Amino acid sequence: MDSKILEKSQYWTGSMFDSETVAQVKHLIANDEKELTESFYRDLEFGTGGLRGIMGVGTNRMNAYTVGMATQGFANYIKQQFPNLSQIKVAIAHDCRNNSRFFAETAANIMSGLGFKVFLFEDLRPTPELSFAIRELKCQGGIVLTASHNPKEYNGFKAYWSDGGQLIAPHDNNVINEVNKVKIEDINFKGQPSNIEVLGKEFDQIYLKKLHGLSLNPQAIARQSNLSIVYTPIHGTGVSLVPEILSIFGFKNVQSVKEQTVVDGNFPTVHSPNPEERTALAMAIALAEKDGAELVMATDPDADRVGIAVRNQKNEFVLLNGNQTGALLLNYLLTQWKATGKLTGKEYVVKTIVTSELLADMAKAHQVEYFDVLTGFKYIADVILQNEGKKTFIGGGEESYGYLAGEFVRDKDAVMACALIAEAAAYAKDNGMSLYEQLLDIYKTYGVYYEDLISLTKKGKEGLEEIIAMMANYRANPPKSIAGVSVQMIKDYKLSLSKDLLTGNTSPIDLPKSDVLQFYLTDGTKISVRPSGTEPKIKFYIGVKDAYSGNIESDIESAKQKISSIRKDLNLN
């Protein structure tokens, strides 16, 4: 057995740990070397989504002690950054997952014991409402306990800064440094209850009122208020607020999937609570087909991401990918801002580098500035922060089903997105179109964009080493052609360098360093490769574009075949 792992695990049998934890660790030491290794071979680190891992004992697991160390380290850093404040304020929220309330209360106790004013939500709440609370209550930071759409055995700890966005450099690395200094015996888990203020439904109304202010065409909703919508929270935090915001916007024909409105961290009706997957929407689609609904929407457990299904020209429900939904939403925002005379030349949109270039093309067509950022919504939030008071953020998002409009939330917001997607559907219907027909119209205007995402799961220590080796190999032996098409440009965000293979010219990339590679082919195809910052996966994003030929179905099928050839050539099938 690795001596370092053994030493770390034996520390966890000390008197400062509760008896249940000690018993579990001793059992692993005596009986399960593999699980012991997985539990202690590393410490959980902040990735693009913060701290996230499987629940259990150990330094590489989510438990009261890893949450405690993260909270203490984060609190220590906040105190360093705001030394002159008489009282530091933080907000804390949690989702529906097993232990989420316990972890949230653990964090609240620790911070209250340090003298912080803690605003703790009374029960589960969407992650974007936590971001809103930080700004609304003028907090110096915030925490949400969630593992987003991950399987039930996961939980997570997302840290937020005073702007309402997730931690970015240098704060993220600095917090890690502070967390690494923390010892379990230094943490006061008891806290000071008098420093904790509970946030309830009254605060929800402040948030919902702000969301309602984003509505761009209430007249269209009034005319199409009977638009038939089916919604599912997939057992998560959207259960109350999404139906409520749809009602506030004016939609009168909204059904929720009753079986999935039951709040349950075991997600009993789905294999995975991931709105990217059709199986997660299966019950909602079945209800929509039964009752003749026009739009299906599903939010993930912490209600920051939304997946939708719409009826195609054959009246069949199709699940749109994150790029397609993002294109529909941004198209609606841009056209309505233009129609209402709100475009002044100082507006902008933001997308991530792995998101479809269709969003950039739409911005250009409306003469609206756009920004590309690294994967992770915290980078979109940073652009909003940097432009605050100088330019106006219209909206933006990422291919992983996260979208945002307005500036009062600084993270992806599925509560907001559901309302605006429904409004876009009402506007389309008011003009004699379905959302699917609207998407086809976008393709006819800008070209047929089609994307695919392939995630290869590589679990554990061996999996992490394999992912590192794959990225190293792509850098050492980059492909000269893919599926018979020459590679024209390679962008290496770890080296901050872009190289044109046809001319040999190189240019710097003005973004933070990140372990991402992009291959641009001569036919306009873009392939991005990156290890996930929150999951044991390496992801391949493939995006192709073809001119509209006059037959949209044929064009889409051609795009799918091109992607299939790329997958085969890269051994991704």
Q: Quick: pLDDT tens for 355-379.
A: 999 999 999 999 999 999 999 899 9
Write down the residue that tokens 């110096």 correspond to.
140
- pLDDT of 6 reads 95
**CA triple 124-47-176, angle to 5 deg:** 95
pLDDT at 50 over 70: no
User: What structural domains and CATH numbers belong to the chain?
Assistant: 64-199 (3.40.120.10), 207-446 (3.40.120.10), 448-569 (3.30.310)
226-239 pLDDT tens trace: 999 999 999 999 99
High-pLDDT (> 90) share of the chain, %: 90
Distance CA 214, CA 507 (A): 39
Q: So what's the pLDDT on residue 176?
A: 83
**Phi and psi at residue 350, in whole multiples of 5°?**
-135, 140
pLDDT at 366: 98
- Mean pLDDT over 267-272 rounds to 96
Who contacts 347 (Cβ-Cβ below 8 Å, separation ≥6)?
337, 368, 369, 391, 392, 393, 394
Write the CA distances from 467 to 304, 459, 471, 494, integer angstroms: 28, 10, 6, 15
CA distance 139 to 533: 26
pLDDT band at 249 (very low <50, low <70, confident <90, very high): very high
% of the chain beyond a pLDDT of 70 = 99
Cβ atoms 254, 247 nearer than 8 A? yes
Which range has the worst mean pLDDT, 33-47, 410-424, 471-485?
Answer: 33-47
pLDDT for 47 beyond 70: no
Q: What does the alpha-carbon distance between residue 519 and residue 475 come to, in Å, rounded to a whole number? A: 11
In this prediction, residues 249-254 reach a mean pLDDT of: 98
pLDDT tens figures, 110-150: 999 999 999 999 999 999 999 999 999 999 999 999 998 88
What are the two backbone dihedrals, phi and then psi, of residue 528, each rounded to the nearest 5 degrees? -115, 140
Q: How far apart are the first and last CA of the chain?
A: 37
Whether 67 contacts 157, CB under 8 Å:
yes
Angle, helix 322-339 to helix 414-430, in steps of 10 degrees: 60
- Of the listed 9, 148, 162, 434, which one is catalytic? 148
Range 311-333 average pLDDT: 96
For residues 164 and 140, what is the distance between their CA atoms, to the nearest angstrom?
9
Beta-strand relationship, 254-256 and 229-232: parallel
pLDDT for residue 49 is more than 60: no
| 6-10, 168-172, 339-343, 567-571: least confidently modelled range | 168-172
* Dihedrals phi, psi of 568, to nearest 5 degrees: -65, -45
Q: Residue 45 pLDDT > 90, yes or no?
A: no
Residue 48 has pLDDT above 60, yes or no: no
Is residue 135 within 8 A of residue 43, CB to CB? The reply is: no
28, pLDDT greater than 70:
yes
pLDDT band of residue 348 (cuts 50, 70, 90) is very high
- Give the per-residue pLDDT at 146: 96
Tell me the C-alpha distance between 413 and 144, whole Å: 14
Query: Token pair of 391, please?
Result: 């330019």
Name the average pLDDT for the chain. 95
Q: What is the pLDDT averaged over residues 75-84?
A: 97
Measured between alpha carbons, how far is residue 438 from residues 91, 225, 521 in Å?
Answer: 40, 19, 29
Lowest-confidence range among 193-197, 218-222, 385-389, 458-462? 458-462
**What confidence category does residue 573 fall into, taking pLDDT thresholds of 50, 70 and 90?**
confident
Average pLDDT of 473-481?
96
Length of the chain measured in residues: 573
Task: State the residue for tokens 């409004």.
Answer: 423
Q: How far is CA 391 from CA 20, 134, 385, 556, in A?
A: 54, 22, 10, 37
Q: Is 455 a catalytic residue?
A: no
- Joined together, the tokens standing for residue 244 give 């409520």
Q: What is the reported pLDDT for 419?
A: 98
Q: Is the CB of residue 426 less than 8 Å from the CB of residue 568?
A: no
Characterise 296 by phi-psi region: left (phi > 0), alpha (psi -120 to 50), beta (else).
beta
- Strand-strand pairing, 295-299 and 229-232: parallel
